Amino acid sequence: MITATVFQFFGDNTSLLLDQCVWTLKMFGAAFGIAVLIAVPLGVWLGHIHRGAFLAINISNVGRALPSLAVIAIGLTIFGLGFLNVMIALVILAVPVILTNAYVAVDGVDSDLTEAARGMGMTGLQTLWRVELPIALPLLFAGMRTAALYVVATTPLAALAGADGGLGDVIANQASYRFVGVVTASLLISLLAFAIDGLFALLQRSATPRSLRGRRGIEAKGSVLEAT
Amino acid sequence: MTSLDTAHDEGPSARSGASGGTAAEIVFDSVTKRYAGQEQPAVDNLSLTIGAGEICMLVGPSGAGKTTALKLINRLIDFEEGDITIDGRGVRGENVTALRRGIGYVIQQTGLFPHMTIAANIATVPRLLRWDKQRIRARIDELLELVGLEPEYAKRYPAQLSGGQRQRVGLARALAADPPVMLMDEPFGALDPITRGRLQEEFLRLHARVSKTVVFVTHDIDEAIKMGDRVCVLRQGGRLAQYDPPDVLLARPVDEFVADFVGADRGLKRLSLRRVGDLHLLPAPSARAGEDGTAARARVAEVGYETLILVDDDGRPQGMIGRDSLNGPVNASDARSIGVFGRLDMPLRDALSVMLSQAGSHLVVVDDDGRLAGLVSADLISAELAGTDASARAFDADEVPT
Amino acid sequence: MIGILAQGGSGPVIPDFGGGGAGNSCVRDNGFFCWNWFQQNWSDTFQPRLIEHIELTVVALAIGFVISFAAALFAYRYKWFDFPFTTFSAFLYTIPSLALFQVLVGITGLTLATALIPLVTYTLLILFRNTLIGLQEVPDEVREAARGMGLTRRQILWRVELPLALPAILAGLQIAAVTVVSLATVAAFVYDHGLGSPIFDAINRGTFKTELIGAGGLAILLGIASYAFFAVIQRVATPWARYRRA
Ligand SMILES: Nc1ncnc2c1ncn2[C@@H]1O[C@H](COP(=O)(O)OP(=O)(O)OP(=O)(O)O)[C@@H](O)[C@H]1O
Ligand SMILES: [Mg+2]
């Protein structure tokens, strides 16, 4: 019964919902892209030189303790209502997760391997590129996957902070869109999250050497769960 | 010499009597254990009597069922066929937790509780038995001393100890409530040879003080021979191959499997079981400086030796003098160095080794006070081994149906 | 439906930030942070909201812990239970919080239950997994030694397995607490409670900065404090874990 009404709602509001999906994806793409650009190089570099464990770990811990809505609220005072503020808040929330995983992934590469690489005459950068990164990749993707999910699932909060757009708009406005609208938009968000999670699962899998596949420990231990 | 002699003759089984302890006899009566879904039993129709206060070493190849047999005793593994009794009481009739509280259990990985201090680890069973605090505290101190750990270790956590120290704590914890029976599964298996050797010695000393019936699993045949009053050799499939005192096992392995298992050097291994003091030492011709050389020379000739042992007024050997230099009064300046002395508590294996390295045919043996006790020769050693063998063969002959 | 946005849209054109009195130009100009206003509203806005927030967090965490702990003990004993409970709580975990709050409004209305139920559900996965894994990771030889010494099943659980699982359990509580503090601000959208309320209030008034920073800042501090709280508990309650070997 509810399925039928959901489909009907979707049929009646297809273009609106698709627009909101696109808006949500844009928000996700921008925030996640910037977070990756900041956190991956920094985390990988810190891991490569085995420095800054304190920084990497504590940034993640403090980052994890930041309530998302509070970050958005404080951002409002600086950037005002709108896309930019929410995007920046999402970047702030995503960076710690990616950074820590990138750091741990590279820092944790067996020192026997890196020493062997240097022993064969590789430079530091060559070691990073040919040995450390390939080995760190699965864990690095695991961190990105967690962060991606977190970002997608947090985008609806944008609506609460006055950014007009995105599926959050529908979810937050039960008065206008009624219960069925809330449910439909929630399902769409969950679908997006599911799709993005699946995408990263594939990336993570293809980055894992065949011989190591099927070991579930890595992702479970490496990534940090975040509820939104 | 005599004191050592009696100490040895008293033998292992007398150890229990010595401290008037609480050891109990363990009897396996046709015990069979088959794990679910396995054709071959892990322990097959095992019958065995372990005397009160004895150390029974369980050996055998990997997978032979040693651990299984051990865990049947404290019912960490349940069994249906046959029975195991401790002092006549079947383990299956007992309340399982009460049974286990009365049995010390030591394993290779120690199983110490990481979240408890050493003191709390040791206090585990006494607390279960509701001893009062003071008694527990006193017991902890006593046990730490017994296993050779300083009292300040009481407050540490297991992760702060070395492997050997943790193994000592494991031992102390198992001894805490003074159980009559101790089960030990390769307790020293993960230690380096030196630590292992030291712990073996200490365990034997401790066993002499606190009488326990010990069932001890090991991979190491040398450990079995060194520690055991009796050695139980299991073969693949959990069947008993041989159950005998170490010396008999080495002298008369019942079949090729046991012979292989104890190793081709079993003759030498037997040598490490006996000590110089066990032998009837050969008399050594000796003389003090200034004695009449001609008389001394006659004494040397009488036993057919080439040299005389020069001793001081207390009878301590000072050197040796060739028969030919014995003209006139015995002169200390004619003496050559003797080299390394044998001692009464020296294993025969070491005595032989010293003899070989000094390229001599005899070893001069001194007693605990450094006084001349006699001589050992390679012939004497082989005669000793042959003697046991001879009696063993006679024993064999009895068993052969005629 | 409280329809904050609608209300915000139809609100007064000229910001009315209330309080502050006529002479407070900082508030009138919507200055970055008006300490005066914050102080004046501490005792009747911020402090009670903070306390509500803490209460909400504690209650949600406590309920979540009781459920997950019982479920984890059950799953530890009966392995088959692990998969369905994990799947179920993982499913709940993936629902965006705002959606869950909103959907519940249709069922339980604008009540405390609507705020509380999602908060509790978001703790389940982490608390359940951490407790169960903590128990499962107790080394076999430790368990066997305990059995060999004659501890009963219950004694092994309470004296050996649970103490050894404590670091994992506390780590789970730490993450759960931080999560609940965060989501409880969103909960104010459907139930006027906690530090989220002044945040929504400030947005409705036309992004009143002082209130946003005051409430947002308190929420952030509370998040960090709850993280630190469990870090300290962890250190005090499991002194032995410091010496763990590599
Ligand atoms: N829990 C179990 N379930 C099924 N089979 C088992 C179990 N434990 C041991 N076995 C089997 O029983 C046999 C005897 O095992 P046991 O552990 O007693 O050997 P062991 O003599 O102690 O060997 P090791 O020297 O390697 O410790 C082996 O074949 C083993 O595979
Ligand atoms: Mg074994």
Q: Characterize the bridge pairing of strands B89-90 and B43-50.
A: unpaired
pLDDT at B47 over 90: yes
- pLDDT at site A1: 62
Q: Are residues C8 and C109 in the same domain?
A: no
Q: Are residues C102 and C30 in the same domain?
A: no
- Interface touch B100/C149, C-beta < 8 Å: yes
pTM assigned to the model: 0.81
Q: Are residues B200 and B289 in the same domain?
A: no
- Interface touch B173/C238, C-beta < 8 Å: no
Residues of C in contact with B76 (CB under 8 A): 144, 147-148
Within 10 angstroms of residue B135's Cβ, the number of other Cβ atoms is 10
Look up residue C160 and give its two tokens: 């050996």
> Looking at residue B168, which CATH number applies to its domain?
3.40.50.300
Distance (Å, rounded) from C-alpha C125 to C-alpha C91? 9
Chain centre to alpha carbon of residue B106: 18
Residue of C nearest to A68 (CA): C182
Q: Could you identify the atom of ligand 1 that is nearest to the CA of residue B60?
A: 21
- Which chains pack against C, by 3+ Cβ pairs within 8 A? A, B
Q: Are residues C11 and C47 in the same domain?
A: no
Q: Which domain holds residue C19?
A: 1-40
User: How deeply is B80 buried, as exposed, middle or buried, from its count of CB atoms within 10 A (0-12, 13-18, 19+)?
Assistant: exposed
Handedness of CA B199, C145, C172, A100 (dihedral sign): positive
pLDDT at B379 over 60: yes
- Please report, for residues A25, A153, A203, C125, the alpha-carbon distance to residue C93 in angstroms, rounded to integers and kept in the order given: 21, 10, 22, 7
Look up residue C101 and give its two tokens: 């709050």
Residues of A in contact with C99 (CB under 8 A): 156, 171, 182, 185-186, 189-190
Q: Are residues B283 and B256 in the same domain?
A: no
Residue of C nearest to A170 (CA): C99
Residue of A nearest to C223 (CA): A65
Residue tagged 């997950």 (tokens):
C68
Look up residue C54 and give its two tokens: 């803490």
Handedness of CA C233, C236, C237, C242 (dihedral sign): positive
Handedness of CA B226, B227, B231, B232 (dihedral sign): negative
Distance (Å, rounded) from C-alpha A3 to C-alpha A15? 19
- Interface touch A70/C4, C-beta < 8 Å: no
Find, among A119, A110, A112, A114, the residue nearest to A139 by Cα: A110
Residue of B nearest to C162 (CA): B115
Within 10 angstroms of residue A59's Cβ, the number of other Cβ atoms is 20
User: Cβ(A65)–Cβ(A103) under 8 Å?
Assistant: no
Instruction: Identify which ligand lies nearest to the alpha carbon of B238.
Output: 1
Which residues 166-195 of C have a C-beta within 8 angstroms of B?
166
Helix, strand or coil, per DSSP, at residue B211: coil
In order, the DSSP letters of B75-96 are TSS---EEEEEETTEEGGGS-H
Residue tagged 């004494």 (tokens):
B299
Residue tagged 């369905």 (tokens):
C84
Which residues 124-163 of C have a C-beta within 8 angstroms of B?
139, 141-152, 155, 160, 163
Q: What is the mean pLDDT of residues B32-51?
A: 93
Which residues 53-72 of A have a C-beta within 8 angstroms of C?
61-62, 64-71
Q: Are residues B207 and B296 in the same domain?
A: no
Residue of C nearest to A183 (CA): C103
- Please report, for residues A98, B106, B177, B184, the alpha-carbon distance to residue B212 in angstroms, rounded to integers and kept in the order given: 60, 14, 12, 12
Q: Is C200 on the interface with A (CB under 8 A)?
A: yes
User: Cβ(B345)–Cβ(B274) under 8 Å?
Assistant: no
Q: Are residues C155 and C112 in the same domain?
A: yes
Q: Torsion angle of alpha carbons C122, C123, C125, C127, nearest 10°?
A: 170
Residue B142 amino acid letter:
E
Look up residue C93 and give its two tokens: 């975990």
Which residues 78-137 of A have a C-beta within 8 angstroms of C?
80-81
Q: Is C219 on the interface with A (CB under 8 A)?
A: yes
User: Cβ(C60)–Cβ(C180) under 8 Å?
Assistant: yes
- pLDDT at site B127: 93
Within 10 angstroms of residue B92's Cβ, the number of other Cβ atoms is 16
Q: Are residues B245 and B284 in the same domain?
A: no
Q: Are residues C49 and C171 in the same domain?
A: yes
User: Cβ(B246)–Cβ(B225) under 8 Å?
Assistant: yes
Chain centre to alpha carbon of residue B179: 21
User: How deeply is C80 buried, as exposed, middle or buried, from its count of CB atoms within 10 A (0-12, 13-18, 19+)?
Assistant: exposed
CA distance, residue C134 to nearest chain A CA (Å): 13
The answer to whether residue B391 is domain-embedded is: no
Residues of C in contact with A194 (CB under 8 A): 94
Q: Could you identify the atom of ligand 1 that is nearest to the CA of residue B66?
A: 21
Among B43, B66, B218, B239, which residue has the most ligand 1 atoms within 8 Å of its CB, making it the best to mutate?
Answer: B66
What count of residues does chain C have? 246
CA distance, residue C150 to nearest chain A CA (Å): 34
Residue tagged 């139809």 (tokens):
C10
Say how many Å lie between the CA of residue B178 and the centre of ligand 2: 25
Q: Are residues C92 and C183 in the same domain?
A: yes
% of chain B at pLDDT higher than 90? 50
Distance (Å, rounded) from C-alpha C27 to C-alpha C37? 7
User: Cβ(B54)–Cβ(B229) under 8 Å?
Assistant: yes
Distance (Å, rounded) from C-alpha B296 to C-alpha A98? 95
- pLDDT at site C43: 84
> Looking at residue B364, which CATH number applies to its domain?
3.10.580.10
> Looking at residue C230, which CATH number applies to its domain?
1.10.3720.10
Which residues 23-42 of A have a C-beta within 8 angstroms of C?
none
The total number of structural domains that make up chain B: 2
Q: Are residues C71 and C124 in the same domain?
A: yes
Within 10 angstroms of residue B397's Cβ, the number of other Cβ atoms is 9
Q: Is C12 on the interface with B (CB under 8 A)?
A: no
Q: Is B116 on the interface with C (CB under 8 A)?
A: yes
Distance (Å, rounded) from C-alpha C124 to C-alpha C113? 16
pLDDT at B177 over 50: yes
Q: Are residues C194 and C100 in the same domain?
A: yes
Find, among B364, B384, B383, the residue nearest to B374 by Cα: B364
Contacts 24+ apart (CB under 8 A), B252-256: B252/B389, B252/B392, B252/B396
> Is the pair C, A in contact (3+ CB pairs within 8 Å)?
yes
Looking at every residue in chain A, the average pLDDT score rounds to 82
Which superfamily is assigned to A2-227 in CATH? MetI-like (1.10.3720.10)
Residues of C in contact with A188 (CB under 8 A): none
Q: Are residues C51 and C166 in the same domain?
A: yes
CA-closest residue to ligand 1 atom 12: B42
pLDDT at A219 over 50: no
Q: Which domain holds residue B356?
A: 277-385
Among B68, B77, B235, which residue has the most ligand 1 atoms within 8 Å of its CB, making it the best to mutate?
Answer: B68
Question: pLDDT tens string for chain C (246 positions)?
Answer: 333 333 333 333 445 665 545 457 777 777 777 888 888 888 888 889 999 999 999 999 999 999 999 999 999 999 999 999 999 998 888 788 888 888 888 888 889 999 999 999 999 999 999 999 999 999 999 999 999 999 999 999 999 999 999 999 999 999 999 999 999 999 999 899 999 999 988 888 877 888 888 899 999 999 999 999 999 999 999 988 887 654
Of the listed ranges A83-92, B25-34, B227-236, C21-30, the one predicted with least confidence? C21-30
User: Cβ(B308)–Cβ(B300) under 8 Å?
Assistant: yes
Find, among A106, A178, A168, the residue nearest to C189 by Cα: A168
Q: Are residues B150 and B281 in the same domain?
A: no
Q: Are residues B147 and B65 in the same domain?
A: yes
% of chain A at pLDDT higher than 70? 90
- Please report, for residues A138, C49, C59, C181, the alpha-carbon distance to residue C117 in angstroms, rounded to integers and kept in the order given: 35, 19, 11, 14
- pLDDT at site A178: 81
Of the listed ranges A176-185, B252-261, B368-377, C72-81, the one predicted with least confidence? A176-185
Chain centre to alpha carbon of residue B23: 18
The total number of structural domains that make up chain C: 2
Q: What letters, b where the CB count within 10 A reaches 16 and e where it falls short, cover B35-59?
A: eeeeeebbbbebebebbbbbbbbbb
Say how many Å lie between the CA of residue B221 and the centre of ligand 2: 14
